Structure 1
Amino acid sequence: TVHVFIDALRRSSSVPILSIIEETLRAIHTSCRVSTVDKVRANGRDRAAGAVSACKTQIPHKSHIPDTGTLGLLATSATVKSRIYHEPLEHAGFTLLEPPPRVQKTIDQIILRIIHHRHRQDAPADRRFITRAISSFRERGAQAVIFGCTDLSLLGQFSKPALPLLDSTAILEDAAVAWLLQG
């Protein structure tokens, strides 16, 4: 949600700031996920490679994600309302679907449980709910779903989701590793 302020943060900082939204869009249009992991491994940075490859299976290769089309967005209400994902993705030719209000309310509750470390006992039920939300996006015509909240990754792996998942946290992790390797 802090990405609402990304432009102001970049203007006030001398340090480069990666945008989770820009990196998610870049991941859709490139196959950088595989090459980033390969570069890390080639440089012998096993700890970093382990961290990056742990999330690699969550996001499929580019060939599974359309260059334009319809994507679902799972994020906090604040992120959805701010439209920080909508504008760049719509500009790139995508239509972005949001969950219905009742589903969004439950997603917010799940995210709050994760933030307050109360999700462990509810994790299986929460994963089932998110899995149903992913399936509902498929029924509405989505070709992939963006996890637009950094906390959703903490629910763990989703076995056989109805659509490819674009985990923005994993994408940003990969972008940070790639940036470090370039420098």
Structure 2
Amino acid sequence: MKTIGLIGGMSWESTAVYYRRINESVRALRGGLHSAEIALRSLDFNRVVELQKAGRWEDAGTLLGEAGAGLARGGAACVLICTNTMHLVSEPVARLSGVPLIDIIDETAAALKADGRRNPLLLATRYTMEHGFYAERMARHGISVTVPECDARGIVHDIIFDELCQGLVEDGSRRRYLDIIEQSRARGVDSVILGCTEISLLVDPNSLPLPGYDSTAIHADAAVRFALAEELERAA
């Protein structure tokens, strides 16, 4: 088994989901008392948020890249950025880490394409919905991303930072997300991307009015496939 490197803490609420999902998947595949070999560098999210707000993406890339390099020195065979938004700086992180970076956007696109989805609604932070990097990357895979209207984007973003990243899961916020999805159906979307790693704490992707794709689960499962690639190939 290869060691999985996690750049986490953004927020730690979702990083905990990664840790559980990866270990549950390894146990399901290998049985018994098996668990994943994981190296985790958990950053201070407040520091990252300050860089986001200031638009200091180059500095953010260096911060995460140095974390990835540390994981690689510690034996990680790959790295994951455990957040969608910070994939804005995935290129410098991959370069500085020096090991394969398993990309959440590419993996989510692959899951959509496998199911024939081409026009998903993206629910994420404002940075992810509005910056352009996410839509551009999805377009390379032939997928056209739709985002909520302006006011709804603000609602989605605020619930992520003011509630989910702080461990608050509110029924009223769940209803607001579901309302936003319903409103977007008229715009021709065929699916929903939970494009922030905390959103799965609020809504179940399998209980939405449209097919849902949980980017956190997709990303974690890709890491397990990487770590167990040789075993899975022998078993095929």
Q: Distance in 1 between matches of 2:141 and 2:193?
A: 15
**CA deviation after TM superposition for structure 1 residue 132, in Å:** 1.2
Structure 1: any 5+ residue segments left out of the alignment?
31-61
Q: Deviations over 1:121-142 (max 9, x none)?
A: x2x1111111111112211100
Query: Is 1:116 matched up with 2:166?
Result: yes
**Structure-1 separation of matches of 2:184 and 2:134:** 16
Q: 1:82 Cα deviation (Å)?
A: 2.0
Aligned residues: 145
Q: Which residue of 2 aligns with 1:82?
A: 131
Q: 2:172 aligns with which of 112, 125, 149?
A: 125
What TM-score does the superposition give when structure 1 sets the normalisation length?
0.73
Equivalent residues of 1:127, 1:158 under 8 A apart: no
Residues 135 and 161 of structure 1 are in contact (CA less than 8 Å); yes or no, is this contact kept in structure 2?
Answer: no
1:17 maps onto 2:66 in alignment: no
Give runs of aligned pairs for residues 18-167 of structure 1, distance below 5 A. Answer: 18-30=102-114, 62=115, 65-66=116-117, 69-112=118-161, 113-117=163-167, 119-120=168-169, 122=170, 124-157=171-204, 160-167=207-214
Q: Distance in 2 between matches of 1:175 and 1:94?
A: 20
Task: Provide closer, same or farther for how the CA distance between residues 151 and 165 of structure 1 changes in structure 2, counting only shifts above 3 A.
Answer: same
Q: Give distance in 2, aligned partners of 1:91 and 1:16.
A: 20
Percentage of pairs with the same residue: 33
Q: Which has the higher contact order (CA 8 A, sep 6+)?
A: 1
Quote the offset at 1:74 in angstroms.
0.4
Residue 47 of structure 2 is matched in structure 1 by: none
Give yes or no for contact 1:21–1:84 (8 Å, CA) kept in 2: no
Secondary structure at the aligned position of 1:97 is classed as coil
Q: 1:72–1:145: 8 Å Cα contact kept in structure 2?
A: yes
What is the CA–CA distance in structure 1 between the aligned matches of 2:89 and 2:196, rounded to whole Å?
16
**Partner AA of 2:125 in structure 1:** T
Greater C-alpha radius of gyration: 2
What stretches of structure 2 of length at least 5 have no aligned partner?
1-84, 231-236
State the TM-score, normalized to the length of structure 2: 0.58
What secondary structure does 2:179 align onto? helix
Letter in 1 for 2:132: R
Q: CA RMSD in A?
A: 1.6
Alpha-carbon separation, structure 2, partners of 1:166 and 1:159: 8
Contact 2:109 2:143 in 1 (8 A): no
